[in-house]
Chains A and B, each alone.
Chain A
Amino acid sequence: MGKQPNKKGATMAQSKEMAVREKKEVAAKEEKTIPGRYFVPPADIYETDEALAVVLEMPGVEKKDIEVSLENDVLTVDGRIDFSKYRDVEPVYAEYNVGHYARSFSLSDRIDRDKISANIEDGVLTLTLPKAKAAQPKRISIG
C-alpha cells in the first residue's frame, strides 16, 4: 500500500483516509500491582544494519512515566498515564477508554544494552537498540 521508497525512505501513503482502531486491552499473564486496565500500544519494529528500532504509540504518557527494561532478551515497556486531569469533569460521551500501557517483545539479536536510547514525541516512543558489535558465533562442545 505504501508509496515507492524515495530518498528519505519509505512513507506510508498519506492520502488514505484514517480508520478508527479499538484500543486493545492487555490480556495479562500476571496481575499488575496497580488496579486498572492496561492497553497494548500499537508498535512498529524495524531493523537497520546497526540497530533495532521499536516505535510505540502511547498517547498521554509523559517522559518521566516510561519504564523500559531489557532482561533475558525480553524488552519490556511500561507507560503510565496521569489521569488526575480528569478530576472535576463529568463524562458525557466516550469513544475510547484510557489506561496505562504495557508491552514486551522477545529479541533475537544481541543488543548493546548500555547504548539503548529512547525518545518520545507527540505520544510516540522510539527506542533505538544498537546491536552488539561482536555477536560471536558460539562453539558448542559435545561432551
Chain B
Amino acid sequence: MSLIFSDPFDALSTFQDALDAFRTSGWLDAGPSGAGAYPPMNVFRKGDDFIVITEIPGVKKSDLEVQVKGRTLRLAGAKSVGYPEKAAVHRRERLAGRFDRAVAMPVEIDPDGVKAEYRDGILALYLPRAESDKPRSIKVG
C-alpha cells in the first residue's frame, strides 16, 4: 500500500490514520527485541530498503550513537534537561536520561550504505537491504 496524497487538505489525516493502522502490526514483535523501549520508532519501506524514523527532541548529535550489524540496528544516547541557577521551576514535563535500544530488521542491511540524518530532533536512518540478501530469480531450465 502506498500513500497517495490526492487531496492536500486531507493528506495529513490520511497519513495519521495509516500510521494508526500500523500501531498494531506487531512487526517488530517477531524479533528478539520487541517494542516499547525509548526512543519510539516508525518504520517505512521504500522499495527494497527500510527507513527508520525516531523522535528524540533535545538529544544532541554528539550524544547519539548508531550501530548496524547484520539485521540489527542499535541506537544509544543520552539526553539532559537543565535549568539555569536560581530558577524557580513551574512545570517539569520533559524527560531526560539514557537510552539504548536494539531492533532487528527483517532483512540483512548493507552497513556501508546506511545513511543517518538528524534534524529538528528527528533522526532518520536509511537502511539499504544488503545485495546478498536480495532474492534472485532462478531460471527453470
Q: CB-CB < 8 A to A68: which residues of B? A: none
Q: How large is the interface on A (under 10, 10 to 19, 20 to 34, 35 or more residues)?
A: 35 or more
The total of interchain contacts (Cβ-Cβ below 8 angstroms) comes to 210
In the complex, which of the residues A18, A44, A47, A86 contacts B38, with contact meaning CB atoms closer than 8 Å?
A: A18
B57 contacts A124, C-beta separation under 8 Å: yes
Q: How large is the interface on B (under 10, 10 to 19, 20 to 34, 35 or more residues)?
A: 35 or more
B114 CB within 8 Å of chain A:
no
What CA separation (Å) do A56 and B80 show in the bound complex? Answer: 14
Q: CB-CB < 8 A to A129: which residues of B? A: none
A4 CB within 8 Å of chain B:
no
Q: CB-CB < 8 A to B132: which residues of A? A: none
A9 contacts B82, C-beta separation under 8 Å: yes
Q: CB-CB < 8 A to A96: which residues of B? A: 19, 40, 42, 55
Task: Name the distance in Å between A93's Cβ and chain B's nearest Cβ.
Answer: 4
What CA separation (Å) do A15 and B80 show in the bound complex? Answer: 10
Most buried by B among A34, A98, A122: A122
Complex interface residues of chain A between 18 and 47 (CB less than 8 A to chain B):
18-21, 34-37, 42-47
Given contacts A10-B83, A13-B96, A89-B51, contact A95 B41 (CB under 8 A): yes
Q: CB within 8 Å of A: which residues of B? A: 1-3, 5, 9-13, 15-16, 18-23, 25, 27-28, 35-46, 50-51, 55-61, 78-99, 120-122
Q: 19 interchain pairs (CB within 8 A)?
A: A7-B85, A12-B80, A20-B36, A20-B37, A44-B91, A49-B86, A59-B55, A83-B12, A91-B45, A92-B22, A92-B43, A93-B25, A93-B41, A96-B42, A98-B16, A98-B19, A122-B58, A122-B59, A123-B55
11 new A-B pairs (CB below 8 Å) besides A11-B82, A43-B94? A11-B80, A15-B97, A18-B96, A19-B38, A19-B95, A37-B13, A91-B3, A91-B42, A92-B22, A95-B40, A124-B58
